[in-house]
Amino acid sequence: MTSSTDLPYAAEAESSLGYDELEVLRNQYYKEIESGHVTTQSKFNYGWGLVKSASPELQTEGVKLLQEIYSASPSHRRECTFYIAVGYYKLRNYSHAKTFNDLLLAVEPENMQAQSLRQLIDKAVTRDGYIGMGIIAGAAAVTGIVLASVIKRATRK
């Protein structure tokens, strides 16, 4: 199995930002909100930090902030596209992760970060598919056992 250490460019997708680092970004962002003018860079930095957090709730908020920038600022789309894909990957929403990652690869086919993220997404989809099949097979086996038990009891009566 390939790990993110084998894919150095994918490290962004599997690493988390520490609480203190995120707090610095959060403080800057909210300081600018209070002043009435939030720079795109501060919003991006905070969104990036949220995506890099270990919390799904914060990751969701980060994706939302990055999508706001993506919609409002065409000059920031490249950076936002990659980190939105990373956010969705971390949230295990692989179809959205793939969509955003493919957008980046369409304009930058040689982008090593996006190429390695594609590999992580593909592996996760395969892994989750195997897990899903295992759950279904397990549920079918339990159902079969219960059904056999019910039939056996019914035929005894």
**CATH number, domain containing residue 134:** 1.25.40.10
Identify which of 7, 56, 48 has the alpha carbon closest to the alpha carbon of residue 25: 48
Q: Are 103 and 81 in contact (CB under 8 A)?
A: yes
Confidence tier at 147 by pLDDT (50, 70, 90): low
Report yes or no on 1 lying in a domain. Answer: no
CA 44 to chain centre: 17
Whole-model pTM: value is: 0.73
| pLDDT over 80 at 155, yes or no | no
Instruction: Tell the residue number behind the tokens 């501060």, with chain if given.
Output: 42
Q: How far apart are CA 69 and CA 47, in angstroms?
A: 9
Report yes or no on 52 lying in a domain. Answer: yes
Of the two residues 3 and 86, the one the predictor is more confident about is 86
Average of per-residue pLDDT across 45-51: 96
Each residue of 98-122: pLDDT tens digit?
999 999 999 999 999 999 999 999 9
Report yes or no on 99 lying in a domain. Answer: yes
Q: Which domain holds residue 115?
A: 8-156
Report yes or no on 3 lying in a domain. Answer: no
If one counts the domains in the chain, the total is 1
Q: Are 40 and 156 in contact (CB under 8 A)?
A: no
Average of per-residue pLDDT across 17-42: 94
